[in-house]
């Protein structure tokens, strides 16, 4: 398909795609800002083309079993990092499927704590079938981390619905002076992760939203509608706070390592997923916008085509304007739209976007719309990763 708007682009670029498929180990560095689950299916498709994608993940999840670990150890949420690592894992490597199954395993919520502790003990001893089938030396590394967690865990810790992968990552995090990079490296080697995964910051902080009706909502899980009723008032400001009570905005700086990851990307993507708690949350720390603007690579937004509870009260045009405002907040006087956003990939025929797309607004901002079929009969009403991943790869 040939797209004419500000320039002419061919997508998909079959020559590029064939080259990437032949040598994914030489593939481009596509960087995504997202949460843990929205790109789960896309990652399986992505690793067919490149083993060098970069995934910047939000560490603010305050719900589910991940929140129990987060609160017990006052650490960043680890569950979304684990989800993305598993999504990028190569399951064809010997031992990898068994490790994948273990890391994805959750303890049953209806079992009593005594039975769950006995099951966990069998894992530590290597007698549990999910551990005993894993070949050495990987089995020894896993048992070591399970034992570390047993030593660290607070009295009365509940194993109900606890994720083994989260437990192992937490143990490694605590045992490495609370350095996230080290344990992610170990985990990545264990399951042969085909890409790079990092939390945007390594701090225990809270995602906070100010609503149009004056309410202040503290906690990511209260915005997503997964563990609470959907919000009924528009979000007018999203920020990070150090405290739940009387929250005040803070703007922690990203590390130089994070700046380097952003600046070395071949393409930067703001993908599908929860608009505020997955995408905008990643842009809140100081330095993200400047690092994006410094990189001359293409920057692409893929909006959700199905309703997102977090975007109550705002249409597709407002979403894009909001995205631009957070991308340029580091230096609004000097950062313009063309520094941070160049393309929007949409399916104007089949996508269920809220509101009509304001083409003239995008033209004036220098943004090119790539109107491409993204919904298949198998994926409807959602995006088909086999359609949008090749478009992304073609833009590199």
Q: What pLDDT is stored for residue 222 in this prediction?
A: 93
Mean pLDDT of 134-155: 94
- Do 100 and 176 lie in one domain? The reply is yes
The answer to whether residue 240 is domain-embedded is no
What's the total number of domains in the chain? 2
The answer to whether residue 374 is domain-embedded is yes
Residue 170 neighbours by CB under 8 Å, 6+ apart: 69, 73, 75, 78, 149, 152
Q: Quick count: other Cβ atoms within 10 Å of Cβ 13? A: 17
Q: Using pLDDT thresholds of 50, 70 and 90, give the confidence band for residue 63.
A: confident
- Do 276 and 321 lie in one domain? The reply is yes
Q: Are 95 and 136 in contact (CB under 8 A)?
A: no
Take residue 251 and report the two structure tokens written for it: 């703007």
Decide which of 183, 199, 215 is a domain's last residue: 199
Mean pLDDT of 228-240: 95
The answer to whether residue 134 is domain-embedded is yes
Take residue 169 and report the two structure tokens written for it: 């990552």
Q: What pLDDT is stored for residue 9 in this prediction?
A: 66
- Do 166 and 73 lie in one domain? The reply is yes
Take residue 226 and report the two structure tokens written for it: 């997964």
- Do 41 and 113 lie in one domain? The reply is no
The answer to whether residue 52 is domain-embedded is yes
- Do 344 and 266 lie in one domain? The reply is yes
Mean pLDDT of 24-38: 93
Residue 200 neighbours by CB under 8 Å, 6+ apart: 33, 56, 57, 58, 59, 254, 258, 281, 282, 285, 288
- Do 386 and 348 lie in one domain? The reply is yes
pLDDT > 70 in the chain, percent = 97
CATH number of the domain to which 347 belongs: 3.40.50
Q: What pLDDT is stored for residue 94 in this prediction?
A: 67
3-state secondary structure the chain: CEEECCCEEECCCHHHHHHHHHCHHHCCCEEEEECCCCCHHHHHHHCCCCCCCEEEECCCCCCHHHHHHHHHHCCCCCHHHHHHHHHCECCCCCCHHHHHHHHHCECCCCCCHHHHHHHHHHHHHCCCHHHHCCCCCHHHHHHHHHHHHHHHCCCCCCCCCCEHHHHHHHHHHHHCCCCHHHHHHHHHHHHCECCEEEECCCCCCEEEEEECCCCEEECHHHCCCCCCCCCCCCEEEEEEECCCCCCCEECCECCHHHHHHHHCCCEEEECCCCHHHHHHHHHCCECHHHHHHHCCCCEEECCCCCCCHHHCCCCHHHHHHHHHHHHCCCCCCCCCHHHHCCEEEECCCCCCCCCCCCHHHHHHHCCEEEECCCCCCCCCCCCCHHHHHHHHHHCC
Q: What is the pLDDT of residues 346-369, one digit of tens each?
A: 999 998 898 888 888 888 888 999
Q: What pLDDT is stored for residue 4 in this prediction?
A: 37
Positive/negative CA dihedral, 233, 239, 242, 247: negative
Q: What is the pLDDT of residues 295-351, one digit of tens each?
A: 999 999 999 988 899 999 999 999 999 999 999 999 999 999 999 999 999 999 998
Q: CA 1, CA 388: separation in Å to the nearest integer?
A: 13
Decide which of 164, 184, 199 is a domain's last residue: 199
Q: What pLDDT is stored for residue 5 in this prediction?
A: 39
Mean pLDDT of 195-199: 97
- Do 320 and 341 lie in one domain? The reply is yes
- Do 374 and 253 lie in one domain? The reply is yes
- Do 42 and 172 lie in one domain? The reply is no
198 pLDDT more than 90: yes
- Do 257 and 385 lie in one domain? The reply is yes
The answer to whether residue 279 is domain-embedded is yes
The answer to whether residue 214 is domain-embedded is no
Q: Quick count: other Cβ atoms within 10 Å of Cβ 223? A: 31
8 pLDDT more than 60: no
Distances (CA, A) of 272 to 304, 385, 389: 5, 11, 12
- Do 53 and 94 lie in one domain? The reply is no
- Do 45 and 75 lie in one domain? The reply is no
Q: What pLDDT is stored for residue 307 in this prediction?
A: 80
The answer to whether residue 237 is domain-embedded is no
Q: What pLDDT is stored for residue 7 in this prediction?
A: 43
Q: What is the pLDDT of residues 80-126, one digit of tens each?
A: 999 999 999 988 876 678 998 999 999 998 899 999 999 999 999 99
Mean pLDDT of 62-70: 87
Q: What is the pLDDT of residues 241-299, one digit of tens each?
A: 999 999 999 999 999 999 999 999 999 999 999 999 999 999 999 999 999 999 999 99
The answer to whether residue 331 is domain-embedded is yes
1 pLDDT more than 60: no
Full domain range(s) for residue 10: 2-58+246-394
Nearest in space to 326 (alpha carbons), one of 305, 341, 344: 341
């Amino acid at each position: 398909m040939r797209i004419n708007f500000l320039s002419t682009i061919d997508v998909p670029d079959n020559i590029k795609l064939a080259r990437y498929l032949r040598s994914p180990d030489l593939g481009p560095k596509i960087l995504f800002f997202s949460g843990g689950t929205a790109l789960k299916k896309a990652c399986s498709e992505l690793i067919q083309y490149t083993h060098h994608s970069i995934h910047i993940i939000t560490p603010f999840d305050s719900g589910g079993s991940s929140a129990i670990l987060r609160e017990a150890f006052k650490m960043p949420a680890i569950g979304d990092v684990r989800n993305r690592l598993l999504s990028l894992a190569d399951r064809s490597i010997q031992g990898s499927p068994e490790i994948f199954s273990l890391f994805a395993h959750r303890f049953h919520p209806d079992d009593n704590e005594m039975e769950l502790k006995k099951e966990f003990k069998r894992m530590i001893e290597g007698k549990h079938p999910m551990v005993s089938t894993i070949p050495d030396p990987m089995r020894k590394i896993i048992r070591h981390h399970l034992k570390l967690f047993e030593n660290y865990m607070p009295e009365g810790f509940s194993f109900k619905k606890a994720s083994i992968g989260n437990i192992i990552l937490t143990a490694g995090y605590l045992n490495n002076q609370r350095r996230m990079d080290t344990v992610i490296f170990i985990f990545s080697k264990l399951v042969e992760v085909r890409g790079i995964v990092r939390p945007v910051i390594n701090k225990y902080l809270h995602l906070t939203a100010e609503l149009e009706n004056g309410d202040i909502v503290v906690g990511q899980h209260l915005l997503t509608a997964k563990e609470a009723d959907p919000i009924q008032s528009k979000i007018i400001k999203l920020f990070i706070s150090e405290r739940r009570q009387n929250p005040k905005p803070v703007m922690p700086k990203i590390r130089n390592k994070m700046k380097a990851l952003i600046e070395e990307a071949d393409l930067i993507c703001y993908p599908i997923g929860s608009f505020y708690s997955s995408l905008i949350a990643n842009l809140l720390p100081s330095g993200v916008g400047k690092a994006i603007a410094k990189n001359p690579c293409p920057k692409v937004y893929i909006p959700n085509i199905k309703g997102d509870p977090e975007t109550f009260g705002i249409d597709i045009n407002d979403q894009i304007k909001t995205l631009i405002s957070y991308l340029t907040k580091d230096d609004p006087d000097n950062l313009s739209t063309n520094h941070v956003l160049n393309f929007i990939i949409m399916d104007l025929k089949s996508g269920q976007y809220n509101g009509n797309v304001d083409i003239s607004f995008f033209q004036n901002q220098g943004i090119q719309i790539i109107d491409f079929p993204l919904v298949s009969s198998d994926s409807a009403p959602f995006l088909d990763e086999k359609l949008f991943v090749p478009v992304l790869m073609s833009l590199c």
